[in-house]
Amino acid sequence: MDCRSARSVINSAILDALEPEAQREVRTHLSCCPACYVEFERSRRVLCLLADDRCAAGPGGLELRIVAASRTRTVSERTGLAGLWRQLLGSVSAI
């Protein structure tokens, strides 16, 4: 198994959701590839945090801040696109 193949199934391997043979191949690759092992550990920690109810909500309203930031970005992106369209339509109508 090469690095690309290992990384494509790394989350499934962490969740033990692969077929036994594929699970063994990933484990074998991780035992001899430090870069993929680091990625495996990083992903494993993230998945553990996501599975932990105490961490899922995040400290100090983190979840609410993330949702609010994503809404703000979406609105500003829309405004940006709308502004661009107005400029383009204004240019076309001026011709």
Least CB distance from residue 25 to Zn ion, whole Å?
A: 12
Per-residue mark of binding to Zn ion, 16-55 (x: CB under 5 A): -----------------x--x-------------------
Enter the tokens of residue 40: 């495996």
The yes or no reply on residue 3 touching Zn ion (CB under 5 A) is yes
Q: Does 9 bind Zn ion (CB under 5 A)?
A: no
Minimal distance in Å, beta carbon 2 to Zn ion? 7
CA distance 9 to 19: 11
Site of interaction with Zn ion (CB under 5 A): 3, 33, 36
